Structure 1
Amino acid sequence: MVAADLLPVLSGIFGWTYFICWSLSFYPQSMLNFGRRSTSGTTVDFPLLNCLGFSAYMVSNFVFFYSPLIRAQYAARHKGLTPTVQFNDITFAAHGLLLSIVTTSQYFFPRVWGFTPSVVGSRPSRFILGTILGCILGVVVVVCVVLGSPVRDTTGDALGAWVWLDAVYAVSYVKLIVTLLKYTPQVILNYRNKSTAGWSIVQILLDFSGGILSISQQGIDSYMQGDWSGITGNPVKFFLGNVSMIYDSIFMAQHYVLYRGAEGKSDEVAALLGRRVDEEERID
């Protein structure tokens, strides 16, 4: 009985702690860029995709949390259970979107920030632009299909027909697709440079910690409900943590093992302390 009483408290602690870890993870890269007065060593693909991903994540979480119709349609498909989305998911998504916009602006408007323009990585790749367009078109198609469904606003036919819940799922899957792809350009760039100089390892460590706590919170919530459809019904939140941790592990391996000691590693410490780092100050 005591353990059962502690589970809601533990879920809340995990939820807000992962919110803090993931929210803080957006700051180190922009601070590092600012401290170096450059975005060299990184690519705009990552923050640009984050803008799309967190826009979709914020919208889907907001609707899951506040819309009576969507919550009712969700319950009809998942044995009367409610979505496991919590308020901290919404605040995290909104904060992530804001910081992603700030970081993206450092690539698109380097002179406004007082940066030295970077030749590599300052423009989005065609593949990433195609991904963004494809995600938007995909959501538009699903919305059109739902608009053509005569039972889109009902709950009784939610199991076997197109309803607004499907449109919300389509939006939420954009975040999943973004997460599957957004780290890849940076992994490749680090490989080509044989260095992680310019890429913040602090953001990766915070992201990894947040992923563990996010999955733990969702597991606790599903256990308390007595049904694991809390995970299967909100697969984006579950897979986000897993996919991110896989990429985080790759980045940690690059930073601490494969390219350990590469030039520029000291930049991040100096930048986070608020000291500008010039080229001649960089050490191995």
Structure 2
Amino acid sequence: MASWNSFPLEITYEVLGWIAFFSWSISFYPQVILNYRRKSVVGLNFDFVVLNLTKHSSYLIYNATLYFSKAVQEQYYEKYGFGEMIPVAANDVAFSIHAVLLTAFTLFQIAIYERGDQKVSKISVGIVSAAWLSAAVCVFLALPSHSWLWLISVFNTIQVIMTVIKYIPQAVMNFGRKSTDGWSIGNILLDLTGGLTNYAQMCVQSIDQDSWVNFYGNIGKLLLSLVSVFFDLIFICQHYVLYPAKAVAAISPKLEGESTEPLIKSPDHPQAENV
């Protein structure tokens, strides 16, 4: 296994990785807290959460297997060279575990809190079912030849596809409602920080090793960062430019699936919470 050539770059790599971990991990809490305070999940798109759980579960399988399995690491070296570094860090594994747990908890909130007439779409159920069915088929295909690196790459591909798809329902929902009420902007700002530092971490490793194998050896991590940043910028534009909170309070008569009474009735009214 390759070693670091520069100690300062190694420290920078670790620092960036854990900044990404804390940013991405903390990004789950504003939405969870907002749901708890409102006792409502109206405004949170359920398709986003369901797709997100599949995405993070797939990413956990990829990260944990490549980080801990010597057999998979051996296959990685054989494919990309024994002088290369494994492109998964401890912070990647820690983030994936945390993400699966918090996304599952958000689903639990959806089950117990006021949700109006919102529900998970049949399209999302179909996408998730197809993803896990494909993964199951690939497991049986990989067994005879022990193609473990190929198999976890399938899970990495699934997480990339889910990353691209998962943001679309929420972005479309915000556009349709002309509001980001019920959708935490704190989540997005932290997610943007995580995406940028995650990408920077990969750049630092490539600079130290004078090799770009780190990028195409873990294309899933690269695309995760780029896609997250792209959609985060869209959500930031929706929240601060297209549908600012004060304008929403003045012109929006109702939240989807709720009463037509004014949004802000009193300080204690549950829908007075704005993102």
TM (norm. structure 2) is 0.87
What is the aligned-residue identity percentage?
A: 33
Native 8 Å contact 2:38 2:273 kept in 1: no
The root-mean-square deviation of aligned C-alpha atoms, in Å, is 2.0
What is the 5 A alignment of 1:185-264? 185-260=169-244, 261-263=246-248
1:169 counterpart SS class: helix
Tell me how far apart the structure 1 counterparts of residues 191 and 116 of structure 2 sit (CA, whole Å): 26
In structure 1, what is the equivalent of residue 129 of structure 2?
Answer: 133
Contact 2:39 2:270 in 1 (8 A): no
* Other structure's SS at 1:17 match: helix
Moved more, 84-93 or 41-50: 41-50
Which stretches of structure 1, 4 residues or more, deviate above 4 A after TM superposition? 279-284
- Given the alignment, which residue of 246, 269, 273 partners 1:278? 269
Which stretch of the first structure deviates more once superposed, 79-88 or 140-149?
Answer: 140-149
Corresponding letter in the other structure for 1:137: L
Task: Give 2:97's aligned residue.
Answer: 94
**For the residues of structure 2 that align with 1:137 and 1:104, how far apart are their CA atoms?**
21
2 CA distance for matches of 1:233 and 1:203?
29
1:35-114 mapped onto 2 (5 Å cutoff): 35-80=37-82, 81-110=84-113
1:119 to 112, 117, 120: 117
Equivalents in 1 of 2:230, 2:270: separation in Å?
A: 32
Who is 1:16 aligned against? 18
- The residue type paired with residue 207 of structure 1 is D
Per-residue CA deviation, residues 128-180 of structure 1 (Å, 9 max, x unaligned), is: 1111011112112222222243xx2xxxxxxxxxx211111111212111101
Shift of 1:4: 3.0
Which 5+ residue runs of structure 2 have no aligned equivalent?
251-266
Please report how far the alpha carbon of residue 219 of structure 1 lies from its aligned counterpart in structure 2 after TM superposition.
1.1
How many residues are treated as equivalent by the alignment? 253
> Where does residue 159 of structure 1 map in the other structure?
none
> Any gaps of 5 or more consecutive residues in structure 1?
111-115, 153-162, 266-275
What residue in structure 1 maps to residue 255 of structure 2?
none
SS at match of 1:119: coil
Tell me, in whole angstroms, the C-alpha distance in 1 between the residues paired with 2:158 and 2:249: 34
Q: Distance in 1 between matches of 2:14 and 2:126?
A: 39
Deviation at 1:82, TM superposition (A): 3.2
Residue type of the alignment partner of 2:15: I
Cα distance in 2, alignment partners of residues 240 and 251 from structure 1: 16
Deviation at 1:280, TM superposition (A): 7.1
Following the alignment from structure 2 to structure 1, what is the Cα–Cα distance between the partners of residues 91 and 80? 23
Give the CA deviation at 1:277.
5.0
> Taking structure 1 as reference, are residues 26 and 283 closer, same or farther at Cα in structure 2, changes over 3 Å only?
closer
- Contact persistence 1:142–1:166 (CA under 8 A): no
Letter in 1 for 2:132: I
2:141 to 136, 139, 145: 145
Letter of the 2:92 counterpart: D
Return the TM-score normalized by structure 1: 0.84
Is the Cα contact below 8 Å between 1:40 and 1:198 reproduced in 2? yes
Alignment partners' CA distance in 1, 2:205 and 2:141: 33
Question: CA 1:202 to 1:147, structure 2 compared with 1: closer, same or farther past 3 Å?
Answer: same
Question: What's 2:256 paired with?
Answer: none
Rounded Cα–Cα distance in structure 2 between residues aligned with 1:105 and 1:214: 29
CA distance change for structure 1 residues 264 and 214 in 2, over 3 Å: closer, same or farther? farther
